[in-house]
């Protein structure tokens, strides 16, 4: 039996040293590990040798903090879908299909995640009753939230179904990062999502530090952890307020907005910016 590669966060991995499973073995092993309680934290396709497309899965073990990485050998135009047996794979497989034009066989509903074909209509569920009305929101929103189209299908006050289409706006950040890191790279990362500056920037610098074998001081790691927690508190509090606002319960919306402001102002006291820019 082939072994998967076991590592931990912020450690570089030599992909050429990884044993390649057949596509069938890959699917069986991912399902076996997920059935043992390990979480799929990433599942994607990438181009390997001879321009072949390989599948990669990263599973996390919450008890010991280890990551397990599996890779498949060359994938053809199809591969077995994990989604019917492991719902965590759903969004990943839909993204793999739209990015690489390879089909997860037996996927229950292979609708796009981001990239929409202008020749095809949106793959939303279609209501077939005069008693159901649709409410469309976005893709342009106020404030700092990112583009997204949301379609609510309602019967009276009851929301029967919500369809989400993300990634409406493409700003070319990935292409701009090629050849870096450069003087602008960190700023692209900090502004890739308006309310998650610390989260995205931390992930970016951890990747650079791992690839360059750079050790970060305990003080720097502690400061990053504090800033991440402040960002999480601000975002979760803001979301709770937004939920209250959406149902017209304004006292909770107002209080959550004020509390979120406290977290943002504390972030600004630490680094000079309410969203944590220039901190990491």
Whether residues 149 and 85 share a domain: the answer is no
Specify the number of domains making up the chain: 3
**Nearest-angstrom CA–CA distance, 256 and 139:** 25
Whether residues 137 and 64 share a domain: the answer is no
pTM of the model: 0.79
- The backbone torsions φ and ψ at residue 135, rounded to the nearest 5 degrees and listed phi first, read -125, 120
Exposure b/e, 108-129, CB count within 10 A at least 16 = b: eebebbeebeeeeeeebeeeee
SS3 98: helix
**Nearest-angstrom CA–CA distance, 4 and 19:** 7
Whether residues 150 and 78 share a domain: the answer is no
- Residue 10: which region, alpha, beta or left (left: phi > 0; alpha: psi -120 to 50)? left
- Domain endpoint, select from 105, 124, 149: 105
Whether residues 156 and 210 share a domain: the answer is no
Token pair of 17 as six digits? 């040293």
Q: Which helix (H) or strand (E) holds 67?
A: strand 66-72
Whether residues 157 and 99 share a domain: the answer is no
The answer to whether residue 124 sits within a structural domain is no
The answer to whether residue 118 sits within a structural domain is no
Range of the domain at 236: 182-271
- Domain endpoint, select from 87, 105, 123: 105
**Nearest-angstrom CA–CA distance, 59 and 57:** 6
The answer to whether residue 23 sits within a structural domain is yes
The answer to whether residue 238 sits within a structural domain is yes
The answer to whether residue 39 sits within a structural domain is yes
The answer to whether residue 122 sits within a structural domain is no
Write the CATH number for 80. Answer: 3.30.460.80
pLDDT (tens, 9 = 90+) of the chain, 280 residues, equals 567 888 888 888 887 777 788 999 999 999 999 999 899 999 999 987 777 889 999 999 988 889 999 999 877 889 999 999 999 999 999 999 988 989 999 999 888 787 565 556 556 777 788 899 998 888 787 776 777 888 899 999 899 998 887 766 667 888 999 998 999 999 999 988 878 999 999 999 999 999 999 999 999 999 999 999 999 999 999 999 999 998 899 999 999 999 999 999 999 999 999 999 999 9
């Amino acid at each position: 039996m082939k072994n998967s590669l076991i590592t931990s966060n912020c450690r570089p991995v030599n992909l050429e040293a990884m044993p390649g499973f057949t596509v069938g073995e890959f699917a069986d092993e991912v399902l076996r590990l997920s059935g043992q309680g390990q979480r799929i934290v990433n599942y994607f396709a990438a181009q390997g040798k001879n321009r072949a497309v390989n599948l990669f899965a990263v599973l996390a073990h919450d008890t010991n903090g280890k990551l397990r990485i599996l890779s498949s050998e060359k994938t053809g135009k199809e591969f077995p879908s994990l989604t019917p047996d492991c719902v965590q794979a759903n969004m990943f497989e839909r993204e793999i299909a739209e990015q690489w034009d390879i089909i997860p066989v037996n996927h229950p509903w292979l609708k796009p995640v981001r990239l929409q074909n202008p020749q095809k209509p949106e793959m939303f569920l279609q209501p077939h009753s005069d008693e159901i009305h649709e409410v469309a929101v976005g893709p342009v929103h106020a404030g700092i939230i990112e583009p997204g189209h949301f379609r609510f299908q309602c019967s009276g006050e009851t929301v029967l179904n919500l369809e989400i289409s993300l990634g409406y706006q493409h700003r070319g950040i990935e292409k701009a990062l090629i050849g870096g890191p450069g003087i602008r790279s960190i700023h692209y990362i900090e502004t890739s999502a308006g309310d998650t500056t610390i989260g995205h920037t931390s992930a970016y610098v951890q990747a650079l530090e791992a690839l360059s074998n750079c050790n970060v001081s305990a003080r720097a790691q502690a400061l990053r952890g504090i800033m991440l927690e402040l960002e999480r508190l601000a975002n979760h509090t803001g979301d709770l307020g937004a939920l209250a606002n959406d149902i017209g319960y304004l006292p909770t919306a107002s209080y959550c907005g004020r509390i979120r402001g406290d977290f943002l102002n504390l972030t600004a006291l630490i680094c000079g910016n309410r969203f944590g820019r220039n901190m990491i």
